[in-house]
Structure 1
Amino acid sequence: MKLPPPTHRGRWQAVRTTGKIVFGLVLATALAAMLALGMAVARLWPDLPPLDKVTHYEPQQPLVVYTADGVQIGQFGAERRQFVPIADIPAMLQGAVLAIEDTRFEQHFGIDPLGIARALLANLGGGMRQGASTITQQVARNFFLSPSKTLERKLKEALLALQIERSLSKAQILELYMNQIYLGQRAYGFAAAAQVYFDKPLSALSIAESAMLAGLPQNPSYANPVTNIDRAHARQALVLARMEKVGLITPDEHAAALAETMAIQLPTHTEVHAEYLAEMVRQAVVARFGETANTQGYKVYTTVRAAEQQAAYAALRATVMDHERHQPWRGPEAHEALPFLRGAELERAAAQALRDHQDDTDLRLAIVTEYGQRGVTAQLATGETIQLTGAGLALVRAALLPDAPEELAIRRGAVVRLERRDFGWAIGQWPQVQAAFVALEPGSGRMQALVGGFDFTRSPFNRATQAWRQAGSSIKPFLYSAALEQGVMPDTLVNDAPLLPASVGDTETAATGWQPRNADGRFDGPITVRQGLARSRNLVSLRLLQQIGQRSARDWISRFGFDPARLPDDLTLALGSGSTTPLQLAQAYALLANGGRDTTPVFIDRITNAQGMVVFQPPRLPPHEADSHVIPARNAFLVNSMLQDVTRTGGTAALAQRTLQRNDLYGKTGTTNDAVDAWFAGFHPSVVAVAWVGFDEPRSLGELASGSALALPIWISFMDKALAGLPETIPAVPDGVVRVGEDWRYTEWAQGGHVEQIGIKPPTAASEPQTEPATSVAMPAP
C-alpha cells in the first residue's frame, strides 16, 4: 500500500488506529450480542411448551348454540371454524396465501434470514415497517404465545418455529395455519371465512375471492370487506399483484379478478354476546355425550332470548365502564414504534401496529398518531381517524404533559382505548372491576339471561356461577323470613340503636371491641321490622338474629339453597358475611317470587343431533302440589311485601320504581364491608334477576360504591327491557294472613300474641339513642 506524504502520516496513523478501535468495538459488540442471544436461548429452551397442540391437532368443531328464538350465540364457545384437510383446500387459495404471507415458505427452515434482512433494511429506512414472521412462526404464536411484542416472545416464537419444522411437514404446517388463523367476523380458518364473507365452500371460490381472503390474516379488522370494502379491495389488489409476480396467475387472470364484482355477505342481525352461556352449554353437552360431542353436529337451543341476553350484556358493560371513568389513568396498554409517514402509508402502518392487539365493540382499540395538550389524533384498528379534544381527554390530561411519567405518558405510538360518549369520542381504559348478572323465570327455573364477566375472551372465569362472594345485606330477607316463623311480624318494633359489647354474646368478638353500626353511621331508634328491611338497618338485623338464635336462623336460611358450610356461626350472619354466587342467590330469590316453592335453574331447552332429532330435553316441572312449599306461602307473601317497600320511596332501591314506573317490583340491595361487593337481587313475578359488581381479587370499589349505585342500575336496565309491555301484577293474598291496621300479620296473631318489640326499654334520655342490650322477648303461644 502506498503511504501518504510524510506530513500526513501521523494523521493517517491516527485514522488507522481509530479504525481498529471501531472494528474492535463492533466485533466485541457482535460477540456480546451473540453470547447474550445464546444465553437467552439456553434459558428459554427448557421452558418451551410441548408441541402436542400442533402435532396432535384437534380443531374446535362447530357445536352450534342458539337462543330460544333461534339466534346463533356460539359454535363451540365463541368461534366459527370448519376444519378442512390441506388436500381439500384449493391450490389457488394456498398459493394466494403463500404469495402474500410467506413466499419462501418451501425454502426456509421456520425462520427466513432473507426476510429478516429485508424487513430490517426497510425498517431502518424509516418507511412502512415490515414484519418478517414466517407462516411457521405465526403458527407458533397463534397456538402457544401471547401477542405482546417483547424480545422474549419473539425468541420463543423463533425457537418454537424451529421445533415445529422438525416435527411436521410443510403441508401439515400450512394446514394448521389455514384452519387456525383468525380472519375477522369471528371466523377462524379459511373455510369458515369463505362461508362468512361469501356464503360459499372453499371449492367454489374465484381467484378474486381467494385473493381477498388471503389478504385478511395481516390485519382482519383493517381490511375487512364487511366493515370497509375499499380497504379490502386495496389489499386484494396487492395480493393479486403478488400472485401474478410469482407466476400463480396470468396477466389476463389478474385483470379479470380485479374487474370481478363480488357479493359480500353482510350480517343479518346484531351479534348477541352470550359467550359465558355458550361455554356452559359446551361443558354440559360434553358431560352428557362425551368428548366426541364436539364433532357430532349437535345443535343446542338454550332458554335465553336474544333481546334479553343482549340487554343484560349491555347493562353490565355500561355500568362497569361508567365505574372505570372515575378511576385514575393507569397508562397506555402498549407502545408501538410508529414511522413518521403521512396519508395512506401512515394509515396502513398504524393498522399493522395494532394487528396483534384485541379490539372491542365498546372500548375501541386505537393508536395515537399525533398528540398535544389541546388535542390527540388516534387511529382505530379498523382505520378510521379520530380527533379527541376537550372532555374526550379528561382522563388523560396529566398524561399529556411533557413531564408525565413514562408509564403514564400519552405519546405517538401509544395504544389506547376509545369509547363513544354523549359528547363524542373519549379516551378510556380497559376496566379492572368485574361484574356478573343472571336472570331466571321463577316458576320454571328457565334462565333468561347470563353474563359471567366483562369480557369472555380475556377472562373465561364465569362469575355468575363460580364466584363465591359475601352476600352483604342481600341475604337479610331470608333472616327476616326466619323471624316471621317465630312470631316477629312486619309491624314489630325493633330498636335501631348501638349494641353494648356485652350484648354481642360472643366472647371473641366482644374482646376485639367489635361494634356493629349502620352503613350511614346513624341510628333511627325504635322502628318497625318493615322499615328496618327497607332501610337496610344492620342493628335491626342483628337484634332479629339474637331474637331467634343463630342455629335456628342458619337452619332456616339453608332452606333457600344456601350452603350451610358457607354460612357463619356468629352474629355476622345477620350482616351477610356468608358466601354465595349470583346464580345461587337468584335461585333463593326465585323461591320467594314463586310463593315459597323451590325451582331448579335450567339453561338448555333441547339438543338435536345432525339429523334434527331431539336427543335431550330437560323434563318439565310437574304442577305444584299443595305441600311442595319449602317455606309457607304466607311467609313468602309477607317477605315480598317488605321487599316491595325496598323499591319504593324511602327504600334503598327506590330508584327501581321511580325509573321503571311500576309497583310490582321487589328486591334488596347488598354492600359488604368497605364496599368490596355490590349486589342487587330482586324480581318481578315473571323474572328474578341478580347483579353483582366487584374485583376478582377482593378490594374496595371506592368510598361512594354500594349496591344501590353499582348493581341496581344493571338490574333496572335489564328489567326495562324484560318487562316492556307487561301489565302490573297484583299478588294474590294467600291463606293465613290478614290485614291489621297498616300492615299484614299471620292470622293467628291478628289480635296480638306476636313479638311486639325487640330491644326496647324506657329511654333514659329522649334525645339519646337507646344503647341497652337486645332483650329476648318471650313469644306467647299462638
Structure 2
Amino acid sequence: MGRADERRARQQAMRRAGRRDRKGNKRGIRRFFTWKKILGTVLGLAVVVIGAFIFVYMSVSVPAANADAERQSNVYEYSDGKVLARTGAVNREIVGLDQVPKGVQHTFVALENKTFYQDSGVDLKGTARALLSTVTGHGKQGGSTITQQYVKNYYLNQDQTASRKLKELVISLKVDRNKSKSDILAGYMNTSYYGRNAYGIQAAAQAYYGVDASKLTVNQGAYLAALLQAPSQYDWAVATPTGKKLVTERWNNVLRNMVSMHWLSAQDRAGMKFPVPMKPKPQAGLGGQTGYLVDAADKELEHRLEAQGASASDAQARVAAGGWTITLNIDRKKEAALESAVKHQLTSKLEPKNRPRDADAQAGAASVDPKTGKVLALYGGKDYMTHATSNATREDYQPASTFKPVIFATALENGAQTQDGKPINANTIYDGTSGRPVKGSSIAFAPTNEDGADYGPINVQKAMDDSVNSVFAQMGVDVGMTDVLKTGAKLGMDMKNQQPYPSQTLGTMGASPLQMAGVYATFDNHGKLVTPAVLKSAEHQGAKVSLPSPIGQQVLTRNTADSVTSVLTGVVDQGTGSIVKNKNFQIAGKTGTSDDDVSAWFSGFTPDMVTSVGLFGEAAKAESVDGKKYPQFGHVPLTGTGGLIAQNGRVNGGGYPAQIWGEFMSGADKAHGSAGKFDLDTDQGAAVAPSPSLTTSSSPSTSPSTSPSTSQSVSPPASPSHSEPASPPASSSGDGSGSTPSGDPGDGPSPSNSGLPTGDPGNGNGDPGTGDNQGGGNNGLLNP
C-alpha cells in the first residue's frame, strides 16, 4: 500500500471513530458532548455552587438560641376529646465542662465524632448524603458532627428538611470559628435529649444513675453516649432484648474507640462492666394508668416520625420538645372497666405484706377493636408512678400456648401435611402421647404434656381445647418452623433473631399483650392484618401527622382465619378457657402458662372485641425461691400468688387472666355482632361442626406411635378435668387441668432470668435454651 493509500485509510478510520462529515466536523450526539464542553460545564457548575454557597454563607447568620420559655406542654386526650394529661416541664440543668470528668467527655467524642478536635465543625460527605436522602425521601438522616448536632439542638430544631440541613451546615462552620471546642462540646452535652425527660448531661446522670454529672464514671458516660442514638429503644429499663443488645454493642464501641485513641488503657477497659442504670422515676401527674397511656402514645408517635424519615433520637426529641395535641383511641369507659376488672379479680386479693410473693405479680392487658384496629383500653400496671414499665407493651415474657393458634394457622395456610401425608385440619388425628419425640426434626425434642397426661390418638380440635404440647410440637415440625415464624411475623409478632427450633411451638419467644391482641384481632378480622393503634391523631402547631390505617392487607386467607377462630371457640366451650364461657355471645380464645409458672395468659375475642391479658412474675426485690436466687426485676414464678395453695399453688391462664378477661368483656362488649355469633367462612372447628365421634380407647398410649398422625377414629383416654374455678384460691394449676408441672420449656430463662431463648443448641431430647433445663429430654416444656 502506497503512502497516499495509507493516508486515506487513516482519514477514513478517523472519520468513522469521530463520526465526522467530509469537512471534518463531528456528527450526531458527538457534536454536543466533547471533553472541552464537559469540562467547561463541570467548572461552570462548580462556580455556580461555590457562588451559591458563598451567598448562603453570607446571608445566613447565627440565630438566637432556642429559649426554654418557648417550650409548650403536650396535651393528651381520650377519644372523646376529654383531656387525659398535660406534660412538658423542662428537666435541664446546665453544667460547665469543668463539672464533667475528662474521661466522660471523651466517651461522647469517641463515639460520635472522633475528629471533633481537628475538624472544622462539619462533615461534608455526611451532610451531602443526608441532604440527598432528605430530598429524595429515602432513609434516615445521619453523618452529623458534634458541632452540627449542637447547632441543631441549640439554634435550630429537629425538623428533617433540606433547608434546615443547609442552615445547619453554614451555622456549624460559623460556630466552629467563633467558639472553642470546649464550649461546643459542653453545649452539645447540655442540649442533647437522653430520654426519661432528661435534657443535658446533668439531668441524664441523675435520671439514670442518681448522681451528679461530676460523679459519673467512664463506663457510665459510655452508656449515656451510646444512649443518644435512640433513647427510648436503648433505655435499659424498657428496652427489648434487641435494644439491649444494640446499646451494649454501642457501649463496647465507645470504649474500644477510646482505647484506640489512647484515652483509655486496655487494662482499665478490661476491668469495666456494663453499668446497668437504675429504674426510671416517673413524672409527677402521671399516676395510675395515665402514665402508661401517655408513654404508649409517645412511642407510637415517635415510630411514626421515624417512618417519615426522622432518626430515632430526633423523633424522641421532637415529641419531648412539646407543643403537641395528641388524641388517643382509648375509650374512657372501657379503660375504667378494664382497670376495675383487674382490681376486682386480682390486685384486691394480693397481700404483699402478709404474702411477699404477691408483690411479684404484674398484670398487663390490651383491648382492640378488630374492625378498626383502635386500641380501646390498656392496663399497664397498678400505678405508673411505682412501676413505670408498661405490662401492656413489654415484650420480655413468653406468650406460651397462646402461640399455638399461629402454628395451626400456618398449617392451614400452607396446606401442610402430617409425616404420613395426611392434610392437617381440625379433625386430623395426632399422637398425644406425653414425652413422644417429634419426628422429622434435626433437633431432638420430646415435650411432655401437663401432668404427663397421655392422650393417645387425639384430633387437633381436642388438642387445642386441652392444649396438648406433644401434638403442636409435632405439628410445628410437620408444617416447618421457618414457616411458622414467618406467619408470626406476618401477624405482627417480633420474630427478629428467632431461630426455627421445635421448642418455639410452645411459645418461647417474647411478646406483649398488645402484640397478642393484634394477632388475635387479625384472626377475628377474617385474616386482614390488624396493627393496634393507640393514636387517633397527632397535631403540632397546626400541622397534622399522617397516620397509617391500622387495617392492613390480607395476610391470611379468610378460610384460614375463620377456621382458627372456629377451633378456638372449643377452648372456651369445652376446654381450658371454659371459665369465660358466656351464653349471650360466642367467644374464641386460648390460655397459656409459661416456663416455671413465670407468666400466665388469656387471649380471646368476640365478634366485636379482642382482649389479651397477661400476668407476669417480676421480682419486686432480690429474692430466693425454692433455693434459686432471682435479682430484682428478674422473672420469677407466680406460684402461690393470691394465696393459692391447691395443686402446688400454680397460677394458670384459665385462672386470674381469664377471670379478668371475663369480667371486663362481659361489661365492655355490648355490641356482640350479629346476635353475638361469628360470621365464619369455614366448615371445620367447634363453632361450625362437631368433631367426628371417636371410639373409646381403654388405655392410653404410653410410648411413641410408629406414625405421629393417623386417620383412625379413636378416642383419647380420659384426661384431667379442665374446668376452671370460680375464684383464684380454688384455682387448679396449668390451664385448668388441676395438675402439677412436669417440666419447663427447652428455651428456659436466660441467666438474667429474662425468660427469653438465646438460641444456643441444647443436648439430649431437649431443645435449644440456656435456662436451668437446657437440653435434657422432658426438661423443656411449657404448661398449656
TM-score (normalizing by structure 1): 0.47
Which structure has the larger Rg? 1
TM-score (normalizing by structure 2): 0.47
